[in-house]
Amino acid sequence: MIGRLNHVAIVTPDLEAAASVYRDTLGAKVSEATDMPEHGVTTVFVELPNTKIELLVPLGENSPIAKFLEKNPSGGMHHICYEVDDIIAARDKLIAAGARVLGDGEPRIGAHNKPVLFLHPKDFVGTLVEIEQV
Ligand code: CO
């Protein structure tokens, strides 16, 4: 059902320092920082030949990643995102298999303007999983 790895999201307390690690130490192509107020994050995109890394810092009062940073003050891997062809079909199949979909179960428009859903980490090997319809 799942296809390509679309991205890995990493939360950091210091976006410029994190961008520097990927740009200067690891030699990757790194974007400028982009504020995404509707998602409560500021993002730097790291482009790799086969996938992307998204470096995230909280933006605004109700950022969905603020709590993660409280628990992990030096940052860490937040979620992985897999591509699916049909997000509704994927969701229904996952629910039928007993997996928990976060929120109200309806896809939202994600950071790439495509429909996304998040799946409960306890059902996926301790990892928050995002699925994105591409
Ligand atoms: Co994501």
CA distance 52 to 8: 7
pTM of the model: 0.94
Distance 1 CA to ligand 1 centre (A): 18
Average pLDDT over residues 1-6: 97
Please, which residues have CB less than 5 A from ligand 1, an ion? 9, 81, 130
CA 27 from centroid of its chain's CA atoms: 22
Which residues are known to be catalytic?
130
Q: Which superfamily, per CATH, for 5-133?
A: 2,3-Dihydroxybiphenyl 1,2-Dioxygenase, domain 1 (3.10.180.10)
CA distance 8 to 103: 21
Distance 25 CA to ligand 1 centre (A): 23
Average pLDDT, the chain: 97
- Structural domain boundaries of the chain? 5-133
Distance 128 CA to ligand 1 centre (A): 10
Average pLDDT over residues 57-85: 96
